[in-house]
Structure 1
Amino acid sequence: MNSRAEREAKGRRGEVLAAWYLRLKGWRILARRVKTPRGEIDLIARRGRTVAFIEVKWRTSASDLDHAADPYRLRRVAAAAQAVGHRYAKANDLQRIDVLLLAPGHWPRHMANALML
């Protein structure tokens, strides 16, 4: 069984890979690992007038990704985004919750608008 520290290190590596993937797709990373009393946001990114609060999920198997982002986690990200969104989004920007799923040997799966704000 992996220790908590090992899982944390894998999660951080996943976030680094996710940030590079998003940059290649034209996104600018605004913040990483933003902690609020309501929850944590792995990445905050902007492309044009869209600000995405992104939950990153890294699994050792692609089949494990299908259930990685459950509604409970997405609600926590949404609550955290509502707490800090004003710091990153301008008045007319679209704000959304995205999920980025990563597994070794597979292309990242970016689920845009996993939860609308």
Structure 2
Amino acid sequence: MKKNIQKAYCAVDYAFQRIGGKYKGRILWVLREGCLRYGELNRAVVGITPKMLTQTLKELEADKLIIRKVYLEVPPKVEYSLTDTGMELIPFISQMRSWGEKRMSAS
């Protein structure tokens, strides 16, 4: 499922179309340490509904920022991890996190 992405007018616009929103950055941040299953992600990303988690994971996969690996076993097992492209974003998300922490403590 590829979401309808508007034309990007600059590189910043392009980047925020892919990682902007309420949950994408948080999901990428949680996955920085390795593979997680759906239930683990659901517990780690506080406040996200199962429907929104599924939709956001599909969008991140379509943008090639995460990999979804399905194991053919019963019960079904699915793991999510970052692609190399997704890993490239972690230093930037870390900087944004530091900035946010600083601003939050100043408030």
- The TM-score with structure 1 as length reference comes to 0.24
More strand by percentage: 1
- The TM-score with structure 2 as length reference comes to 0.26
More helix by percentage: 2
More relative contact order in 1 or in 2 (CA 8 Å, sep 6+)? 2
Q: Which has the larger radius of gyration?
A: 2
